[in-house]
């Protein structure tokens, strides 16, 4: 029986798939991604994924302030208070941080924060139009981000 180990990495905008097994040291192939079929074209949806490294100190209050800041700047309306969870020492040390969500009338915003790495991953998911350039610039300035990547889908 041969054991396989498969993983994928993104380099320069391309996804590469590696396969390791007992017979070959490794093989490299370009992983072909396919465009997802839009099952509900009659429903407008906009998703913006933002990830990057930040320099500001992040706390529960920082995240509450950010949700207020970003929703005002994007003219998105909330219908509930932000929900902030802290790992509080549970789980792996490298995964300590926050999970935060604010419900929008037109969907929601989620942020994951890895405190030790000073890294965040955020998705704005709406059924309403918003300016993604404003979202990027305001997020970058609020968190004092030194590196930022994004994907709109």
- Per-residue pLDDT tens digits for 83-123: 999 988 888 888 899 999 999 999 999 999 999 999 999 99
* Cα diameter, the chain: 58
Pairing of strands 27-30, 46-54: unpaired
Q: Which ranges in the chain are annotated with CATH 3.60.90.10?
A: 46-152
Q: Give the pLDDT of residue 103.
A: 97
Average pLDDT over residues 41-67: 97
Helix (H) or strand (E) holding 62: helix 60-74
Tell me how far apart the alpha carbons of residues 153 and 149 are, in angstroms, rounded to a whole number.
14
Q: 102 has which bridge partners?
A: 109
The pLDDT of residue 29: 46
What is the CATH class of 46-152?
alpha beta
The predicted model scores a pTM of 0.76
């Amino acid at each position: 029986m041969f054991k396989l180990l498969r993983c994928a990495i993104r380099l320069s905008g391309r996804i590469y798939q590696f396969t390791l097994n007992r017979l070959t040291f490794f093989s490299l192939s370009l992983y072909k991604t396919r465009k997802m079929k839009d099952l509900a074209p009659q429903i407008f949806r906009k998703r913006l994924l933002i990830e990057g490294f930040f320099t500001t100190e992040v706390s529960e209050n920082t995240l509450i302030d950010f949700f207020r800041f970003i929703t005002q700047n994007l003219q998105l309306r909330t219908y509930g208070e932000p929900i902030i969870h802290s790992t509080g020492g549970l789980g792996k040390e490298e995964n300590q941080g926050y999970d935060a969500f604010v419900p929008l009338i037109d969907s929601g915003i989620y942020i994951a924060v890895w405190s030790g790495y000073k890294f965040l991953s955020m998705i704005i998911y709406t059924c309403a139009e918003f300016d993604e350039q404003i979202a990027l610039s305001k997020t970058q300035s609020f968190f004092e981000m030194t590196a930022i990547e994004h994907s709109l889908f």
